[in-house]
A and B are shown apart, each in its own frame.
Chain A
């Protein structure tokens, strides 16, 4: 137990942890043949080819992309940053919307932690491990129940919160529970996966000892495992809360209410001053969650964990009071009939107008959008990571670092659909504006992850090079870049997986790809088409996950 970095948590989520270390000896043979670098070179060439292809398809250098008329609107938006709307009425609206967003995030996180605890136990190897071999000589194995649990928990993760939100709006209507459930379902599945790993990791010894002494499974977990994993679980829950806040804003934009909803209303009426009031509220809330989570991870003292758990409970209560969710509605006859109707309407899935060609074209658009987004985000993040990292030696250096971190905070606090709407001022619709919007947003997230990588780098190899007379640039190139590169690449690939799913939320505002298709089908009440598109989304996410995992393994 103890303090964990943000990068530790995300690593756990993507499986960057060296769980398949047994693969390494097998791979050394191959890597010797390929050469460590030629494997990397192959990936680098593939990346350059893919990005060039995506740029070409997006029309860069081939057609008019920039809409010169949009610059005045965009500059008017930025100028409004110093004139936020501060009338009493609007401040009250902002206040209430802020609490709605917080309530979505807090309740969604709380529910996903509950799901995560139950699901985590049920999908852990520890739970399913046979306490004794069935017959003499046979190793204690894992039961098939474990496998089924893992597969089931993988499915909800494949779909972005916004898609869950669109589905739930159809069944529950404009209900505050849409925001909560759309977060809780996919995040619950992720939390379950992470918690299962925490359980399996936290010393089998004590658990086995209690089991051997005759304790039941739940009793042994309660005494031997829960106390050891509680700190990590709380700190993961707070990391999830940071993610939930961002999701809650996005869900607001598709109609669930809160800051996201107000943002889209203000945008539609071009009231930029109002938008900035809302954005400042967003930044403040995100900063508070970030700082709290960071404090918890850096100094995970039992006292702080306890205070955080109490504060969490208070926030949950406040959230319930603020939203006043009608849980009975979940199981009401009306909901059930709407669900049945939706299922009848949506099944079987169908192709969009234009058939496979259209679906294939939109799928390719989605992949290209995500590639360009991550290429942009990674480039910017690598440039900023070394500037934004904490631990600068001089005062000006620390000030610049704080400024860079503030920039990262603002870019990730503004949700991708808002970035997309802003970019659409100056770029004609298509995959490019979506890519730019996702790129800016992911830059905020990736920059923070890479800055933390830099903070956690072992400084000693570089110091050793300085001590034998190497200059600053040389020591950096030999002692820092090779170590940081592998980690940066791993995080870029991780964000690529997420970005493919996120293309939906910029697509919804018209930026292109499967998300726009989904929105068009929704507007036309083409539920069969929507289901088909969602399947295409899941398929493309799985393919990207596969490529990303393959690349990560060979880059390690």
Chain B
């Protein structure tokens, strides 16, 4: 077996006095599409933040793409982050910037500072950005201001940002939480396409059914613990009901 892309060993995370993750073990193999499901506060976002090193584990170890995130130096962490692309639920795009710059922002990890600043005045590598926008179907918006686009179009800009980044690991935090079923299916399709060529996808979802249909593997989280970890085919609707049950 090749080395895991993501490997969590007995990981605990605490926010203040509130435990977010408790002794979590998780291995994701290269090329896998893994869905994290579970109720709000289960720790899905925390798992994703561990993978970019924006949250540090209190106990246990986190290894992403061969890098021990808890012990990495700043340059090592930057080198890792360059290879990890994220799509956020709230997108976190820069509204007043034109679309081309928001897409190019995916390259900032690889570009030198002077090249990044120059590009703000006169965009560079426009063709790459345009191709990425073509893939998500909004090539004509290249020079629009991002905050003038519709919500759906902005979501595509966020996807295009990940495409130009060409990461080895794609993280997506509730990418379809505020979309209707048809659009949710389409975004999941685009994410799946982005994760081709042997890339790994780790996506947190509320939609249990979508997770079963679009991913290879489903990991159920509840109150900071892994409840089940099964191939998508083996997950039943009952498990979802049990996972989202109110109360203890």
Interface residues of A (CB under 8 A from B): 24, 28, 31-32, 35-37, 460-461, 463-471, 473-475, 477-479, 482-483, 485-486
Given contacts A464-B88, A468-B86, A474-B113, contact A482 B96 (CB under 8 A): yes
- 91-145 of chain B: CB within 8 A of chain A: 92-98, 101, 105-106, 108-111, 113, 116-117, 120, 143-145
Question: Which residue of the partner chain B has the closest CB to A477?
Answer: B117
Question: Which residue of the partner chain B has the closest CB to A556?
Answer: B96
Contacts between the two chains (Cβ within 8 Å), count: 92
Contacts of A36 in B (CB 8 A): 98, 143-145
Contacts of B189 in A (CB 8 A): none
Contacts of A466 in B (CB 8 A): 54, 81
Contacts of A32 in B (CB 8 A): 143-144
Contacts of B165 in A (CB 8 A): 468
Contacts of A479 in B (CB 8 A): 94, 105
15 A-B pairs with C-beta separation under 8 A: A32-B144, A463-B92, A465-B105, A467-B84, A468-B52, A468-B105, A468-B167, A474-B113, A477-B116, A477-B117, A477-B120, A478-B94, A479-B94, A482-B96, A485-B96
CA distance A102 to B166 in the complex (A): 63
Q: Are A478 and B143 in contact (CB under 8 A)?
A: no
CA distance A24 to B111 in the complex (A): 34
Q: Are A468 and B109 in contact (CB under 8 A)?
A: yes
Q: Are A465 and B108 in contact (CB under 8 A)?
A: yes
Q: Are B101 and A478 in contact (CB under 8 A)?
A: yes
**Which 4 residue pairs of A and B lie closest in terms of their CB atoms, listed nearest first?**
A469-B109, A469-B82, A470-B108, A469-B81
CA distance A461 to B101 in the complex (A): 13
Contacts of A483 in B (CB 8 A): 94-96
Q: Are A461 and B86 in contact (CB under 8 A)?
A: no
Contacts of A468 in B (CB 8 A): 52, 81-82, 84-86, 105-106, 108-109, 161, 165, 167
Q: Are B95 and A470 in contact (CB under 8 A)?
A: no
Say which residue of B54, B94, B113, B144 sits within 8 Å of A467 (CB atoms): B54
Contacts of B79 in A (CB 8 A): 469
Q: Are B98 and A37 in contact (CB under 8 A)?
A: yes
Q: Are A464 and B92 in contact (CB under 8 A)?
A: yes
Q: Are B78 and A471 in contact (CB under 8 A)?
A: yes
Chain B, residues 169-208, CB within 8 Å of chain A (1/0): the string is 0000000000000000000000000000000000000000
Q: Are A482 and B97 in contact (CB under 8 A)?
A: yes
Say which residue of B95, B108, B120 sits within 8 Å of A469 (CB atoms): B108
Q: Are A470 and B105 in contact (CB under 8 A)?
A: yes
Given contacts A468-B84, A477-B116, A478-B116, contact A463 B105 (CB under 8 A): no
Is the CB of B148 closer than 8 A to any CB of chain A?
yes
Q: How far is the CB of B48 from chain A (nearest CB, A)?
A: 10
Contacts of B94 in A (CB 8 A): 461, 478-479, 482-483
CA distance A471 to B167 in the complex (A): 17
Say which residue of B54, B96, B111 sits within 8 Å of A486 (CB atoms): B96
CA distance A461 to B106 in the complex (A): 12
Contacts of A482 in B (CB 8 A): 94, 96-97, 101
Is the CB of B40 closer than 8 A to any CB of chain A?
no
Given A32-B143, A469-B109, A479-B94, 14 more A-B residue pairs with CB atoms under 8 Å apart are A32-B144, A36-B145, A463-B92, A464-B86, A468-B82, A468-B84, A468-B108, A469-B80, A473-B113, A474-B108, A474-B113, A477-B116, A477-B117, A478-B97
Is the CB of B90 closer than 8 A to any CB of chain A?
yes
Q: Are B108 and A35 in contact (CB under 8 A)?
A: no
Count class of interface residues, chain B: 35 or more
CA distance A76 to B59 in the complex (A): 62
Most chain A beta-carbon neighbours within 10 Å: one of B80, B82, B105: B105
Contacts of B161 in A (CB 8 A): 468
Contacts of B105 in A (CB 8 A): 465, 468, 470, 478-479
Interface residues of B (CB under 8 A from A): 52-54, 78-86, 88, 90, 92-98, 101, 105-106, 108-111, 113, 116-117, 120, 143-145, 148, 161, 165, 167
Question: Which residue of the partner chain B has the closest CB to A35?
Answer: B143
Question: Which residue of the partner chain B has the closest CB to A484?
Answer: B96
Q: Are B93 and A461 in contact (CB under 8 A)?
A: yes
CA distance A466 to B98 in the complex (A): 19
Most chain B beta-carbon neighbours within 10 Å: one of A32, A468, A470, A479: A468
Contacts of B85 in A (CB 8 A): 468
CA distance A534 to B93 in the complex (A): 48
CA distance A486 to B94 in the complex (A): 12
Q: How far is the CB of A397 from chain B (nearest CB, A)?
A: 18
Contacts of B116 in A (CB 8 A): 470, 473-474, 477-478
CA distance A35 to B84 in the complex (A): 33
CA distance A463 to B53 in the complex (A): 12
Contacts of A460 in B (CB 8 A): 88, 90, 92
Contacts of B148 in A (CB 8 A): 24, 28
Contacts of A28 in B (CB 8 A): 148
Contacts of A471 in B (CB 8 A): 78, 108, 113
Question: Which residue of the partner chain B has the closest CB to A487?
Answer: B96
CA distance A461 to B157 in the complex (A): 13
Contacts of A24 in B (CB 8 A): 148
Question: Which residue of the partner chain A has the closest CB to B78?
Answer: A469
Contacts of A485 in B (CB 8 A): 96
Question: Which residue of the partner chain B has the closest CB to A40?
Answer: B96
Q: How far is the CB of A20 from chain B (nearest CB, A)?
A: 16
Q: How far is the CB of B141 from chain A (nearest CB, A)?
A: 10
CA distance A480 to B105 in the complex (A): 13
Question: Which residue of the partner chain A has the closest CB to B158?
Answer: A464
Q: How far is the CB of B166 from chain A (nearest CB, A)?
A: 11
Q: How far is the CB of A279 from chain B (nearest CB, A)?
A: 40
Question: Which residue of the partner chain B has the closest CB to A481?
Answer: B120
CA distance A460 to B91 in the complex (A): 9
Q: Are A474 and B92 in contact (CB under 8 A)?
A: no
Contacts of A464 in B (CB 8 A): 86, 88, 92
CA distance A464 to B91 in the complex (A): 9
CA distance A470 to B108 in the complex (A): 5
CA distance A344 to B94 in the complex (A): 60
Q: Are B109 and A470 in contact (CB under 8 A)?
A: yes
Q: How far is the CB of B115 from chain A (nearest CB, A)?
A: 9
CA distance A28 to B141 in the complex (A): 12
Contacts of B143 in A (CB 8 A): 32, 35-36
Q: How far is the CB of A40 from chain B (nearest CB, A)?
A: 10
Contacts of B92 in A (CB 8 A): 460-461, 463-464
CA distance A473 to B83 in the complex (A): 19
Q: How far is the CB of B176 from chain A (nearest CB, A)?
A: 18
Question: Which residue of the partner chain B has the closest CB to A458?
Answer: B92
Q: How far is the CB of A466 from chain B (nearest CB, A)?
A: 8
CA distance A466 to B54 in the complex (A): 9
Most chain A beta-carbon neighbours within 10 Å: one of B82, B86, B113: B113
Question: Which residue of the partner chain A has the closest CB to B115?
Answer: A474
